[in-house]
């Protein structure tokens, strides 16, 4: 996997940006497993995950895209699924 020098990470909740951070480095996990609802206590995006108990919350929906969405696209997705 190719390593990206800097990656901007944005978290949205109900189409609203709730967190934004910049990672020093990021290597896309092309062949890594995808865990949803499991807490990873290893904070380094380039290191192997250290998995812990399931996260204690309900997941309403998971959507994976092949590209980063613009804020308007995220808002549209939420509006369609209300």
Q: Which residues contact 38 (CB under 8 A, 6 or more apart)?
A: 51, 52, 53, 54, 55
Q: pLDDT tens digits, residue range 22-40? A: 877 666 667 767 777 777 7
In 1-82, where does DSSP find H-type helix? 71-80
The residue with tokens 């990206």 is 4
What is the greatest pairwise CA distance in the chain? 37
- List 54's β-bridge partners, or say none: 38
pLDDT of residue 64: 82
Q: What residues in the chain have per-residue pLDDT under 50?
A: none
Give the pTM: 0.44
Neighbours of 74 (CB within 10 A): 19
CA–CA separation, 64 and 20 (whole Å): 19
pLDDT of residue 3: 52
pLDDT of residue 28: 64
pLDDT of residue 53: 76
């Amino acid at each position: 996997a190719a390593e990206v020098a800097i990656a901007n990470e944005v978290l949205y909740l109900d189409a609203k940006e709730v967190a934004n951070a910049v990672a020093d480095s990021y290597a896309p996990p092309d062949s890594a497993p995808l865990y949803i609802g499991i807490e990873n206590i290893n904070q380094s995006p380039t290191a192997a995950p250290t998995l812990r108990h399931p996260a204690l919350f309900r997941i309403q929906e998971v959507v994976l895209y092949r590209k980063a969405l613009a804020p308007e696209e995220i808002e549209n997705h939420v509006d369609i699924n209300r």
